[in-house]
Amino acid sequence: ADVISLVDQEGMYCLAVLFVRQGKILGSRSIFPSKTKYDSHKDILASSLMQFYLEHDIPSEIIINQSISEKRIIQQALMEAQNRQTKIKDRVVSYRAKWLKISVANAEESLKSKLSSKSSISNQLRDLTEALGSKQKLKNLVCFDVSHNMGDKSVAACVRFNEDGFSKKDYRRFNIEGVQPGDDYAAISNAIERHYKRINQEKRNLPDLLIIDGGKGQINSVKKVLQSLSIEDQMIIGIAKGDRRDPKNDRIFIQGHKDPIDMTGRDSAKFLVQSIRDEAHRFAITGHRAKKRKQLLQSDLESIDGIGPSKKKNLLTQFGGIQEVKRASVDDLISVDGINKNLAEKIFNHFNPN
């Protein structure tokens, strides 16, 4: 059975799912569904059920902590979608009632933790707003960073932070081509230009704050790019690493000011900027490593005499990736268009030297 509870507090909702199999609780998960002014409590529970089971198998029994008006319709829709039997129950006793009590407690605790985190984020954003002297509260922040290996295969990353924390669905990576090796100014400018061109094209609102990993030089470079796009009112700050790369010595610069901002007594604001910078750095590095790993693996295949771009494409298309090519037998390899027995043996021996 899946035991599902929906609770709300201060305008936020939490859906807790308790996974019970053969009478044992195997785990749980908390989800925070969004709400519109038209949604009732029961509407949110009903839509959350449908959404959850679009991505998960339905169990034989679904226990919920309140009745929903379209229970039979939803139950039938879930069974037809997955061709399995299930029953939705909102009145239970005995050990099922105990499971439901645990599920409700999990939902309440998760929601309490989420609200506490949101309150902390709100305080950090307020402190940062005050530290930067912004007239409006900063709620929507983006940060850019670049990862490269001596300029080879540079990848820029953009992460977004809002009142709910990091918004990972809005993360973006940019493959940087045509810049001088190690030229971070050009790489970050390239990514900024592409990102803000899209904002203009889609007529979206600018972020409240743009954070750049770097100092005054990077800020000035980015500012020129934005001016070329007729964007004049974007607030920009840069965070530069301090002496010995000690976070305590990080300096924060704001456009139009020569000296770094005095962050004395603004620990929470400084920590927030550092956290966002570090997340952008992590996202950029993982993207760069993945790209370089793919390059190395595919180059390994091309190093085999007789394998060109066309045959490489056929191999990767048929097997789904380089690891599957490495595991393929000679007979498997022969089945690929353009691969004869001689070439198949070369490929097999290349990846299986022993």
Are 206 and 310 contained in the same domain? no
Per-residue pLDDT, 147: 81
Per-residue pLDDT, 150: 45
Joined tokens for residue 305: 């005499």
Instruction: Say if 106 falls within a structural domain.
Output: yes
Instruction: Say if 127 falls within a structural domain.
Output: no
Instruction: Say if 71 falls within a structural domain.
Output: yes
CATH number, domain of 307, equals: 1.10.150.20
Are 173 and 267 contained in the same domain? yes
Are 194 and 83 contained in the same domain? no
Are 13 and 113 contained in the same domain? yes
Are 97 and 169 contained in the same domain? no
Domain boundary among 242, 266, 292: 292
Instruction: Look at residues 206, 203, 175, 195 and name the one whose alpha carbon lies nearest to residue 294.
Output: 175
Are 57 and 179 contained in the same domain? no
Look at the chain and report how many structural domains it folds into. 3
Q: How confident is the model at residue 253 (pLDDT cuts 50, 70, 90)?
A: very high
3-state secondary structure 36-51: CCCCCHHHHHHHHHHH
Domain boundary among 292, 315, 337: 292
Is the Cα dihedral 86, 90, 93, 96 positive or negative?
Answer: positive
Are 288 and 146 contained in the same domain? yes
Q: State pLDDT tens for residues 73-89.
A: 989 998 988 888 999 99
Boundaries of domain holding 288: 141-292
C-alpha span between 20 and 97 (Å, rounded)? 13
Q: State pLDDT tens for residues 317-354.
A: 888 777 788 888 999 999 998 999 999 998 888 888 76
> What global pTM score does this model have?
0.60
Mean pLDDT of 288-293: 57
Give Cα separations from 191 to 146, 155, 279 (angstroms). 9, 9, 17
Q: State pLDDT tens for residues 136-177.
A: 999 999 999 988 754 456 788 999 999 888 998 999 989 888
Instruction: Look at residues 49, 100, 48, 103 and name the one whose alpha carbon lies nearest to residue 79.
Output: 49
Per-residue pLDDT, 287: 62
Are 345 and 223 contained in the same domain? no
Instruction: Say if 22 falls within a structural domain.
Output: yes
Give Cα separations from 220 to 142, 146, 200, 205, 212 (angstroms). 17, 17, 21, 22, 11
- How high does pLDDT run on average in the chain? 87
Q: State pLDDT tens for residues 4-14.
A: 999 988 778 89
